[in-house]
Chain A
Amino acid sequence: MTEETNVEIKKPILEVKNLKKSFPIKRGFLQRTVGHVRAVDDVSFSIADGETLSLVGESGCGKTTTVRAIMRAINPDEGQVLFRTDDDETVDLAELSLSQIRPLRRNIQMIFQDPFSSLNPRMTIFQLISEPLLVNGIGNKQEREDRVTELLRQVGLRPEYMQRFPHAFSGGQRQRIGIARALAINPRLIVADEPVSGLDVSVQAQVINLMMDLQDEFGLTYLFVSHDLSVVNQISDRVVVMYVGRVVEVGKPQELFRNPKHPYTSALISALPITDPKNRGVRPVLEGEIANPANPPSGCYFHPRCPFAVDQCKVEAPPLQEVSGRLVACHRTEELELAGVTKHGVAAG
């Protein structure tokens, strides 16, 4: 990880600025638009070269939408996605045309959540992994085969398996195939949306170790999406906590989880199961449901569930501001003492 603070990343590989994306809600026979879901509502963060930045938050908070807008699988409504190219030039992926983006694509690859549906069942492992090479016109058949052999070894699979089809592999093995495919054309940035959520703990550990090893070896940068705070703690250099389409806190995992500065981060931590049966006890349960992004509350989106909300929180949206080397969006952050992770798991609050 770089020595830079959370607040200012010098020469980021990717900088997302004020990204917004909403989806129309259509109803009735005429499919009239009756409202909008503000899936991503002003999100900003930057990623340094070689670091792992994670996006965390409850289901529906806009993690996948953020990632899809960065990859231009959907078009953002507003904002910039600044990517630093090999030639040290900065381009805005949000405003390029799809044909202008294509040559840049080889720098950014994606690993998907579901290793079962993301691999075409009719393609062999060789075809799957070499496809990005073929698409980008890299190498002849022999060279591609050599490259796939090398990649399979790197992700811990036997090259002999090359002619098999995905159904012959377990979930963890399929996820390795997905990783080999993402690595095929030497990308600099890998975007992984819940890559280990569907896997057993033991397999999860293998895949995470593999991702960290490959990062050390090839200097990869990861944008990692997960709702599992423990996994995020283990893999990240920095963490972005999202709530209903907005960023509420950004910081290093040790600092953020031990000493959260936003009430929502603290609430997420206190909802974690206590992993030591000796220390279980009564803990506060966050009341209420996650806010509806189609009809978000006024002011701070978290205020209806926040135990510390004051009148100001109901009317004024708190800006994301630097607070002792961290970014936090909360009016009361400076005066609050929030519970975080302790030695024995999680503090009772």
Chain B
Amino acid sequence: MQSPEPETVVTDEDTGTRPLLSVEDLQTYFFTDEGTIKAVDGASFDVYSGRTLGIVGESGCGKSITAKSILQIIDNPGRIVGGQVKLSSNGDASKNLLEMEPNGEEIRSIRGGEISMIFQEPMTSFSPIHTFGNQIIEAIRLHSPLDKEEAHGLAVDWLRRVGIPSPEQRMSEYPYQFSGGQRQRAMIAMALCTEPRILIADEPTTALDVTTQAQILDILQTLQKQNDMSIIFITHDLGVIAEVADVVAVMYLGKVVEIGPVESIFSSPKHPYTKALLSSMPTIDAAPRERMPSITGAIPHPQNRPSGCSFHPRCPSYMSDICGLREPDLVSIGTDQQASCFLYGRN
């Protein structure tokens, strides 16, 4: 999540390495009675080994659905209708996860194995009728040849590592007996116990206090260093993103509207939406009692996506001759930043 010395984003060119995971033009739609909701509508990004990609954006912009699409765990009436999710293997070939049978052996062994996910709602990802211990042991044994006793030992070890006091005893307790913060930690332990190559963390600290949040970010950072794990970190908290991400993808209504190294996104955001989002972030060093800059207007309903650039009704830089008429593509600005906005060329 964090490199010891500040350095710029790693791209294909400067390391010669390929991305571990590549999401290309992902489209996931929900076909409801009221119409089609394009929850994810052409999202693309790369994830590199040992690095953290942050995904930010307002509620409903498609962050969670993007994450779930990677693992093909989309509920009805949702369907992945386009795109590729390429996972590179240790050898040379890469596999397109979207070509796998959604309930087949192949993707099931990747879920919770090579790619683990921390879900936004911790309560829904645990079974209320099984003890924590059994659930973690089962997760471990699904992806490793350990016997029950070994898996038990490993589970206790992980609960301890994420800071759950007296883990041995807590193994026999049920989810409702844990506090919110403890449940979140237990879920993190469960996601990490199989030592995944990629961790997808969907709002892993949003429900937590700053102090607990700091402890958990610390744990993730340590593990990332130890295992060279990649992290996709989803949040709407820009403060957390500033702290953990190497590269940031900003989403608006199902699309990545800007992507670049975290320093560039914070010091010179290009898309008007990114700029607006950053300036509406409350900061503790702001002068008190000052009005906060806010984005005018409300997030449009995903069914009534505005024409052209979908940010145009709220955009302070709106240009009437183009923004509402045509859809901008992501274009490169500088060496490693991209934004989709006509201010940077009328492609």
Contacts and interface: CB of A to CB of B under 8 A. Distances in A.
Interface of A: 1, 58-59, 170-173, 200-206, 208-209, 212, 227-231, 233-237, 252-254, 257, 267-278, 280, 283, 285-286, 289-290, 341-346
Given A58-B209, A272-B239, A278 B267 contact: yes
Given A58-B211, A203-B298, A229-B210, 6 more contacts: A202-B58, A208-B282, A209-B294, A230-B286, A267-B211, A277-B242
Q: In the complex, which of the residues A268, A278, A285 has the most CB atoms of chain B within 10 Å of its own CB atom?
A: A285
Given A200-B59, A205-B294, A273 B284 contact: no
Q: In the complex, which of the residues A231, A233, A267 has the most CB atoms of chain B within 10 Å of its own CB atom?
A: A233
11 contacts: A58-B212, A202-B58, A202-B276, A202-B299, A227-B210, A230-B283, A269-B284, A273-B210, A273-B213, A275-B238, A277-B243
B6 interface: yes
Interface of B: 2, 6, 58-59, 165, 180-181, 208-215, 217-218, 236-240, 242-243, 245, 262-263, 266-267, 276-277, 280-295, 298-299
Contact of B285 (A202, A206, A343): A343
Given A272-B210, A277-B263, A289-B165, A237 B292 contact: no
A254 B243 contact: no
A271 B217 CA distance: 10
B283 A202 contact: no
A230 B2 CA distance: 23
Given A201-B280, A253-B288, A272-B239, A206 B294 contact: yes
Contact of B292 (A1, A208, A254, A267): A208
Contacts, number: 152
Contact of A273 (B209, B212, B243, B291): B243
A205 B285 contact: no
A343 B239 CA distance: 15
Contact of B280 (A58, A205, A274, A286): A205
B210 A173 contact: no
Given A59-B209, A253-B288, A289-B165, A276 B266 contact: yes
A285 B242 contact: no
A169 B209 CA distance: 29
B298 A274 contact: no
Given A229-B284, A277-B266, A237 B289 contact: yes
Contacts of B243: 273-274, 277, 280
B251 to A, nearest CB: 13
A202 B239 contact: no
A234 B285 contact: no
A201 B238 contact: yes
A271 B213 contact: yes
Contacts of B267: 278
A209 B293 CA distance: 9
A173 B262 contact: no
Contact of B242 (A234, A252, A280, A343): A280
A202 B295 contact: yes
Given A170-B299, A289-B165, A204 B280 contact: yes
5 shortest interchain CB distances as A-B pairs = A205-B294, A273-B239, A230-B282, A205-B292, A271-B214
Contacts of B295: 202, 205
A58 B210 CA distance: 8
B292 A273 contact: no
Contacts of B280: 201-202, 204-205
A166 B180 CA distance: 29
A281 to B, nearest CB: 8
Contacts of A272: 210, 239, 284
Nearest to B163: A289
A273 B290 contact: no
